Structure 1
Amino acid sequence: MGMQLGYTMMTEQAGPKELVAYVTAAERAGFDFAVSSDHFSPWLDEQGHSPNAWVTLGAAAQATSRIGLMTYVTCPSFRYHPAVVAQQAATLQILADGRFTLGLGAGENLNEHVVGGGWPPADVRHEMLVEALHIIRDLFDGDGYTNFRGEHFDVESAKLWDLPDTRVPIGLAVSGKQSCEIAGELADAMIAVEPRSELGELFDAAGGTGKPRVGQMPISFDPDRTAATKRAHEQFRWFGLGWKVNAELPGTSAFDAASQFVREDDVAESIPCGDDVDAVIEAAREYADAGFTHLALVQIGGDQQHPFIEWSERTLLPAWREAFGG
């Protein structure tokens, strides 16, 4: 099978009813899987939304029947206790009849600071993530009651009473050596937003050989390339800051300030804008060449999803199958 094409339910740019309608349309159009962001806040005020991802995914599981579903990604160590994440994931897997993958990551200050407690440095966040992974995996095992005493989390006699027939696979977001080692040892899939082959190599070295690699790439489809570029700059100018920056900034005003000198031309150089299918395929090929097995596209603009999905069914999907198989 070639690299699978995914659709992104971007909670930062649409409300819950719209997101369910979009993923239903994406399934009809032929997308292989769908991922959902899990945020408390949009990146920029211009995006304007942030409904609860888990409620929306539950509705999506009922509204669809074939397309794979995935969190991209949930942080199981601040807004949510890992035991609660495990329960949510198990329940969603039952509703989805085995189509769900739990994508996890170390989180961003933007979404996690809302519950108080400060924002610890990256090494502490990784320690918390490892503890959370052990708790979630143990609860998924379903072997009696889980008790856990950690540096960051405690679990007292926890048990998931409704476990799915298909164990929930866990994907882990990676960006460097430490996270790749954690993912290779404790996850069933690697998640990344950059087409860097070294991430896959580090993942393999830690035990990830043969496991899926799931990427994500923004595009701004529009027959009017000028309008596409303007929209990408308005809503996605923060994207090029890099995850070491994006993980630390606390709110939309900080992202606005950090990206104030990003020009429309800068965005157009890094994000395919317009309706040139070859440009999308060329950008996606970097992920295929880096060993990614799945790539979810983000169509920028909450009101541009149906035109994008229709164009994908008519133009992108045939070109994608020819380029990447599947």
Structure 2
Amino acid sequence: MTEFGYFLSCEEFTPAQLLEQARRAEDAGFTRLAISDHFHPWNDAQGSSPLVWSMIGALSQTVDLPVTTLVTCPTVRMHPAVTAQAAATSSVLLDGRFTLGVGTGEALNEHVLGDRWPPFDERAAMLEEAVEVMRALFSGRQVTHKGAHYTVENARLYTTPAGRLPVYVSGFGPQAAELAGRIGDGFVTMGPDEEAIGRFRDAGGAGKPVIGGLKVCWSPDRDKAVDTVHRLWPNEQLPGELAQILPTPAHFEQAGRLVTREQVAAAVPCGDDTDEHVAAIRGYIDAGFDEVHIGQIGPDQESFFTAWQERLLPALI
């Protein structure tokens, strides 16, 4: 049976707003939380970027829901050994209710220390090695590793995960889906792409969870909702690899000018038509997702949580 989680967008909301959303999500019947990891927002209009690891610590003291990173990049801005320590502590704070979702990242966040931004094949190899390093450290053993991309010397986590810490791998293309099947405990993909899920399962992911998410804008005024999405999240409609290679919010703002209001209206559930929102979510259920995480775009969070509790969730269960 598919579980429904709430997607906390660090790009759009302050720490206090994210914590309040988590409380309301739990009250409204969501059973999980997902949270993004960004150094920069996608554009200045989103306007936020709290440190995800601080947020997870605060969430552990605020709600009782499981938390998954969707997703963090343990390869460039954060060394896998440091990511492993952060993830292990998160697992302890959440009493084992933490899942580490990882991916190959975006230049937007990962270039900030002046590192070269590698092509996808190299980033995928870095991610595979990073996952190997993190799993070794999660064991609590002393680890020395000299690989193609990372060196770890006499490192040991003294605060180890509370039980097994699952590592889910994100993928948006054939190679990434196959990598997730080979090395991941689960698969993260944002769209209900049955072909990608099939590749994941054929590559070793059979029987492993598939999770994803979508953004919506619930509002009694559909036109206003479309305007809100078009202003805040046009980046979600950019094609191809642009999301991985553009380096600054200003570049995303430039590219976002090519996204039309009509594209947004066709792609994102907007307004207060229950059937439209339910149909979008059911697309994920029908594609075989084990978890679907929904995020409300814009400031009108309360009307969304009320609608979720009173209209959307009853229509889905």
Counterpart pick for 1:163 among 140, 160, 164: 160
Partner SS state of residue 78, structure 1: coil
Give distance in 1, aligned partners of 2:10 and 2:193: 26
User: Match for residue 112 of structure 2?
Assistant: 114
Q: Deviations over 1:252-273 (max 9, x none)?
A: 1111111212221210100000
| RMSD over equivalenced CA pairs, Å | 1.1
User: Is the aligned partner of 1:317 residue 2:313?
Assistant: yes
Where do 5+ consecutive residues of structure 1 fail to align?
322-326
Could you tell me how far 1:245 is from its partner in structure 2? 1.3
Give distance in 2, aligned partners of 1:34 and 1:247: 24
How many equivalent residue pairs?
317
Q: With structure 1 as the length reference, what TM-score do the two structures score?
A: 0.95
Partner SS state of residue 254, structure 1: helix
AA partner of residue 43 (structure 1): W
| Paired residues for 1:121-160 under 5 Å | 121-142=119-140, 144-160=141-157
| Paired residues for 1:70-89 under 5 Å | 70-89=68-87
Check the 8 A contact 1:219/1:273 in 2, yes or no: yes
Query: Could you tell which deviates more after superposition, 241-250 or 291-300?
Result: 241-250
Could you tell me how far 1:310 is from its partner in structure 2? 2.0
Q: With structure 2 as the length reference, what TM-score do the two structures score?
A: 0.97
Partner SS state of residue 227, structure 2: helix
User: Match for residue 22 of structure 1?
Assistant: 21
Give distance in 1, aligned partners of 2:252 and 2:115: 21
Give distance in 1, aligned partners of 2:281 and 2:240: 20
Could you tell me how far 1:307 is from its partner in structure 2? 2.2
Q: Deviations over 1:34-73 (max 9, x none)?
A: 10000011111111111111101110011112x2101010
Could you tell me how far 1:112 is from its partner in structure 2? 0.7
Q: Deviations over 1:270-294 (max 9, x none)?
A: 0000011111111122212221111
| Paired residues for 1:19-98 under 5 Å | 19-65=18-64, 67-98=65-96
Give distance in 2, aligned partners of 1:293 and 1:16: 28
Over 6 Å off, 4+ runs: none
AA partner of residue 300 (structure 2): Q
Check the 8 A contact 2:7/2:34 in 1, yes or no: yes
Q: Deviations over 1:98-156 (max 9, x none)?
A: 111000000000011111112111111111101101001111123x2111111110000
Check the 8 A contact 2:138/2:161 in 1, yes or no: no
Partner SS state of residue 83, structure 2: helix
User: Match for residue 273 of structure 1?
Assistant: 270
Give distance in 1, aligned partners of 2:176 and 2:214: 20
Give the share of equivalent positions with the same residue, in percent: 41
Check the 8 A contact 2:75/2:127 in 1, yes or no: yes
User: Match for residue 248 of structure 1?
Assistant: 245
Counterpart pick for 1:292 among 280, 289, 294: 289
Query: Could you tell which deviates more after superposition, 180-189 or 97-106?
Result: 180-189
Check the 8 A contact 1:24/1:60 in 2, yes or no: no
Check the 8 A contact 2:238/2:259 in 1, yes or no: no
Q: Deviations over 1:12-42 (max 9, x none)?
A: 1111111111111101111011100000111
Give distance in 1, aligned partners of 2:144 and 2:40: 33
